[in-house]
Structure 1
Amino acid sequence: MQSLTTPGHRPVPVEILEAEIRRVCGAFALEPMGRSGVVNGDVATRRVGPFDTAIVALDASEVARSPRAIRQDPGEYFFLLVQDAGQCRVEQGDRVAELSPGDMFLVDSVKPSSFLYRGERSNQVSLHIPREEVVHRFGHACAGGLSISRDDPLWLAMRAVIAKMLLEEGAQAQLGEAFLCLMGAYLHGRGTGNAETLLSRALAMIDRHRADPSFGPRELAARLNVSERMLQRHFRPLGETPGHRLLGRRLELAHARLSARRNEQAAEGVTAVAFDCGFNDLSYFYREFRKKYGTTPGAVARCH
């Protein structure tokens, strides 16, 4: 199976690599194979679609997250662990999985976990999916860890979306939404989740209609057959309102389109992009774009 990434293995002092893992992934303890105090490995970070992502290479004995570490550093994520090269044995509660290249395991950060490498070189991609979003989309179906079977056709679809997000720098946010929808379908097919929660339907609808300037929170609530107040309650765990979510998706779409335009199109392209992405007020578009990205739409177009 073709690798998703090409991380490098270089000699690193154990305490430095452990500090990098802690900085990127949270409180984990690293156990080397020998007593040399050196591990061959590396930790890199990427923004993959809408997800913060760690790319970890190492040849350690074990990496573990203990109950004490969890008390010190409460979990905020589910880590979707994709084995890219080498082997790894994942143990979380009573769930155990032997990962080979291509295998995936959804790690619950609030439960103790161990990753055994036995000193063999391993490359892994870890997508950090906000815990609140997963819980409110799918309930507690993922609590305690979940192995994603490669015998399920949806496994291949999920891997394809991950590969596309990794290949396309600054991949559009709808790829992340597509991935979460596939995960919901996988859980629903196993009878362990509900892929059609109101929040899940609302997020998918926002992604589908964000380029329509007439589509707003009121229209969204009407299509879902709920009141605007009830819709806001469902969005509250995400820390945003339906309107803020819709604005963010429109800005992400505009940024992606401006980034793809040629320099000579920049002058006349910004206005067209703004209208094509659901904005009907240019001053509002410029203000919110600068607030989100720290630069102007024209600067993004010229840069690319």
Structure 2
Amino acid sequence: MNAAPLNIWNERVHSVCGRFETRYDHCQSLFIGELHKVMLGSTEVAYIRSNASVIAKSRHAAGAEPDPYCFLVLQQHGEMDIELGDRVVQLREGDLALLDCATSLKMMPKGLFGHVSIHLPKARLAGIGPEQFGKLSSTGACGQLLSTLVRQVAGGELGQWACNEDGAGLQDALLALLGSVLQYRASDPAASLHLHEVQALIQQRLDSLRLSPASLADELGISSRQLYRLFEARGDSVCRYILRERLRRAAQDLRNPACMHRSITDIGAAWGFADSAHFSKTFKKQMGVTPRDYRAGSH
């Protein structure tokens, strides 16, 4: 059994992220471990993809040099559970989290995952308590800005503009936004939550097959019943809103000349419809024509 890929991966992780140790419980030849680092000004960003069983880090030993970084993470693909001391948080596709590598940390992916980790200096997060680490809310203006900025970093949109003069500018912007986002937990999220904030979050998640009222409520830190009430107060329902917006986005692509090379099945799947027959039936019920006829009529 050749463990070389796992050894190489561990060495790479040590050099970029610190003393994390990886365990893979299957045939070593099937292990996937990809990690590359980029610099945006003086901010380090790690792109990680793996099917590891467990990635863990123990609390640093007494007298040892403390880890200088915390990690702002975007879960791009896949899911994982993360043990943060005596707490367990679930990261799904699209979730943001702030992780403190000075404490014990255990990531348990559920199959192949991909995430982006932005390194932030722990010294500049000194006032944050352990309960504030974990999954981050994207409600509120600062939450939306933080989410958008991290997604731009993850998508490589800022790489072409990066220059030495950027210095710690990206880091400063992320930390400023984090300062507000971490305060969201100090109050009852349902008390200050507005419908337009929930709708904005839904727009970001429309292409995910895992988008559901339960996943939204979990990310927002409210109960499913509170989420339903937000929409019911306006005479709507969260499920109907999600469906309408997915169909609206699909219709935009169907009439877009730039999308003519894409199949109807592909467009439906891109907006959360895993089954092409279901997409066609639902589209016709809402729009009065099939996706094929809608596309033909648009052009």
TM range (shorter): 0.5 to 0.7
Structure-2 change in CA distance of 1:174 and 1:13 (3 Å): closer
- Check if 1:141 corresponds to 2:129: yes
In structure 2, how many angstroms separate the alpha carbons of the residues matched to 1:70 and 1:78? Answer: 19
CA-to-partner distance for each residue in 1:24-47, whole Å, 9 max, x for gaps? 000011001314265112010011
- Aligned partner of 2:181 in structure 1 is 186
Mapped pair 1:91 → 2:86 = no
Which amino acid in the other structure matches residue 182 of structure 1? L
The yes-or-no answer on 1:126 pairing with 2:139 is no
Query: Partner residue of 2:157?
Result: 167
Q: Of 38, 41, 54, which residue of structure 2 is paired with 1:46?
A: 38
| Residues 86 and 113 of structure 1: CA distance in aligned 2, closer, same or farther (over 3 Å) | same
Give me the whole-angstrom Cα distance separating, in 1, the residues matched to 2:30 and 2:24. 7
**TM, length-normalised to structure 2:** 0.53
Deviation at 1:101, TM superposition (A): 1.4
Q: Distance in 2 between matches of 1:112 and 1:84?
A: 23
Normalising by structure 1, report the TM-score.
0.52
**1:146 & 1:70 partners in 2: Cα distance?**
24
Aligned to 1:29, which of 21, 36, 39?
A: 21
In 2, distance between residues paired with 1:121 and 1:24?
A: 20
Cα displacement (A) at 1:141: 3.1
Q: Separation in 1 of the partners of 2:103 and 2:119? A: 15
Say which SS state the counterpart of residue 167 (structure 1) adopts: coil
In structure 2, C-alpha distance between the alignment counterparts of 1:142 and 1:148, rounded to whole Å: 13
Q: Distance in 2 between matches of 1:100 and 1:12?
A: 30
Cα shift readout 1:222-247 (whole Å, capped 9, x = no counterpart): xxxxxxxxxxxxxxxxxxxxxxxxxx
* Structure 1: segments with no counterpart, 5+ residues: 1-10, 193-304
Counterpart of 1:219 in structure 2 is: none
* RMSD (Å) for aligned C-alpha atoms: 2.6
Residue 55 of structure 2: which of 44, 50, 63 is its match?
A: 63
Secondary structure of the residue aligned to 2:147 is helix
For the Cα contact (< 8 Å) 1:13–1:38, is it kept in 2? Answer: no
Q: Are the equivalent residues in 2 in contact too, given 1:150–1:156 (CA < 8 A)?
A: yes
SS of the equivalent of 2:74 reads: strand
Distance 1:72 1:60 in 2: 27
1: CA distance between counterparts of 2:68 and 2:85?
18
Show the counterpart of 1:198: none
Q: Percent identity among equivalent residues?
A: 25
Contact 1:42–1:57 (CA<8 Å) still a contact in 2? yes
How many angstroms does 1:67 deviate by?
Answer: 3.2
Cα–Cα, structure 1 residues 63 and 103, in superposed 2: closer, same or farther, change >3 Å?
same
2:93 is aligned with 1:105: no
Segments of 5+ residues of structure 2 without an aligned counterpart are 188-299
Q: 1:57 to 1:47 in 2, by over 3 A?
A: same
1:143 is displaced (CA, Å) by 6.5
